[in-house]
């Protein structure tokens, strides 16, 4: 069972995965043989801390084995992506791919003979959203009726949060003056607007006052943040998005917990003080990637 985007999963499939993730977290010993004898191919075109570690450790803790493949050291850089994916799928039982472009991920999935999990692309980050929902459920005690406010640029993370929230009864308000062009998904936005759970505003203060959870992400894709060739666009975005920073002044007007998918650029989308505050649940959120990943692996690879 592929996980390319949560748009393709039913509400029941997503809820069942969250139930299993919670059970895996609470009773890890019960699952230590779940993927015995199975191997996961991990193809990474983008850098990673949380996605790589959580999948690799997750496979080990489930009794399986993970093979890490840096894109630049493979023949994926030279050959047809679909052909290489078909070959890789003859060696492993599942593939997690962290790709720059969504279209390349689709080419890989079309060639693969085993389940493909999207470990992040420029349009979606579904595994992140599953971990985020797990965190919200832990903190709030439920998903249905919780209110998440996302502030910043509408990007791959935001897309997956929208898809996840409207399938689980979480109200989501997006405060985003711009959309990352590569992440634009009119189909998703139409479904969100029809769900009754989605709202858009540019009034961050009012949105934050009504939020249970405040979520932000970097305004600039991490691979471009220190890129001098991106300097002009970086400076433009910083000027455009600074009014949407999650900072101490905003938290004085809100009782919300703060979430971030990391890595954070402190002083930009969020301040260091907020990250270190008692309201910040970003480390718990990062930990939950491990438990969510394990549940995704078991569902995708048939355990």
Task: Read off the CATH number of the domain in which 273 is found.
Answer: 3.40.50.1370
Looking at residue 223, what is its pLDDT? 65
Is residue 174, in this structure, part of any structural domain at all? yes
pLDDT (tens digit, 9 = 90+) per residue, 110-157? 999 999 999 999 999 999 999 999 999 999 999 999 999 999 999 999
On whether both 274 and 145 belong to a single domain, the answer is yes
- From 52, 98, 237, 299, the catalytic residue: 98
Name 3's bridge partners. Answer: 117
On whether both 108 and 137 belong to a single domain, the answer is no
Judge whether 221 counts as a catalytic residue: no
On whether both 208 and 273 belong to a single domain, the answer is yes
Is residue 164 predicted with pLDDT exceeding 90? yes
- From 52, 102, 123, 125, the catalytic residue: 125
On whether both 206 and 246 belong to a single domain, the answer is yes
Percentage of the chain exceeding pLDDT 70: 98
Looking at residue 270, what is its pLDDT? 98
- From 289, 291, 293, 299, the catalytic residue: 289
Looking at residue 230, what is its pLDDT? 82
On whether both 157 and 223 belong to a single domain, the answer is yes
Q: What is the chain's length?
A: 303
Number of domains within the chain: 2
Q: Cβ–Cβ contacts within 10 Å for residue 169, how many?
A: 15
pLDDT (tens digit, 9 = 90+) per residue, 202-235? 999 999 999 999 999 999 876 666 778 888 988 9
Range of the domain at 115: 6-124+289-300
Q: What is the mean pLDDT of residues 268-290?
A: 98
Judge whether 193 counts as a catalytic residue: no
Judge whether 121 counts as a catalytic residue: no
Looking at residue 224, what is its pLDDT? 67
User: Chain-wide mean pLDDT for the chain?
Assistant: 96
- From 38, 61, 128, 293, the catalytic residue: 128
On whether both 157 and 239 belong to a single domain, the answer is yes
- From 121, 127, 165, 261, the catalytic residue: 261
On whether both 152 and 279 belong to a single domain, the answer is yes
Judge whether 285 counts as a catalytic residue: no
Q: pLDDT band for position 108 (50/70/90)?
A: very high
On whether both 164 and 204 belong to a single domain, the answer is yes
- From 93, 212, 217, 221, the catalytic residue: 217
Tokens standing for residue 239: 């000027």
On whether both 160 and 16 belong to a single domain, the answer is no
Judge whether 102 counts as a catalytic residue: no
Q: For Cα atoms 45, 61, 138, give the angle at the middle one, nearest 5 degrees.
A: 85
Q: Could you give the 3-state DSSP secondary structure of residue 18?
A: helix
Is residue 71, in this structure, part of any structural domain at all? yes
Is residue 62 predicted with pLDDT exceeding 70? yes
Looking at residue 303, what is its pLDDT? 64
């Amino acid at each position: 069972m592929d996980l390319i985007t949560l748009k393709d999963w039913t509400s029941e499939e997503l809820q069942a995965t969250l139930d299993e993730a919670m059970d895996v977290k609470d009773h890890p010993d019960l699952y230590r043989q779940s993927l015995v004898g199975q191997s996961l191919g991990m193809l990474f075109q983008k850098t990673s801390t949380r996605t790589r570690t959580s999948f690799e450790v997750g496979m080990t803790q489930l009794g399986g084995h993970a093979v890490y493949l840096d894109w630049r050291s493979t023949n994926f850089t030279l050959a047809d992506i679909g052909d290489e994916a078909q070959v890789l799928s003859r060696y492993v039982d599942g593939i997690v791919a962290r790709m720059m472009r969504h279209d390349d991920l689709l080419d890989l999935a079309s060639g693969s003979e085993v389940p493909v999990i999207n470990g992040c692309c420029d349009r979606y980050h579904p595994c992140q959203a599953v971990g985020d929902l797990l965190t919200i459920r832990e903190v709030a005690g439920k998903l249905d009726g919780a209110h998440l406010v996302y502030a910043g640029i509408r990007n791959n993370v935001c897309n997956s949060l929208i898809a996840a929230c409207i399938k689980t009864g979480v109200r989501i308000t997006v405060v985003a003056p711009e959309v990352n062009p590569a992440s634009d998904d009119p189909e998703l936005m139409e479904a969100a607007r029809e769900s009754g759970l989605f709202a858009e505003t540019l009034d961050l203060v009012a949105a934050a006052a009504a939020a249970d959870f405040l979520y932000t992400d970097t305004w600039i894709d991490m691979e471009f943040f220190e890129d001098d060739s991106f300097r002009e666009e970086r400076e433009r975005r910083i000027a455009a998005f600074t009014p949407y920073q999650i900072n101490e002044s905003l938290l004085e007007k809100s009782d919300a917990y703060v979430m971030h998918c990391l890595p954070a650029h402190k002083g930009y989308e969020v301040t260091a003080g907020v990250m270190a505050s008692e309201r910040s649940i970003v480390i718990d959120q990062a930990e939950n990637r491990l438990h969510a990943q394990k549940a995704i692996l078991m569902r995708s690879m048939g355990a």
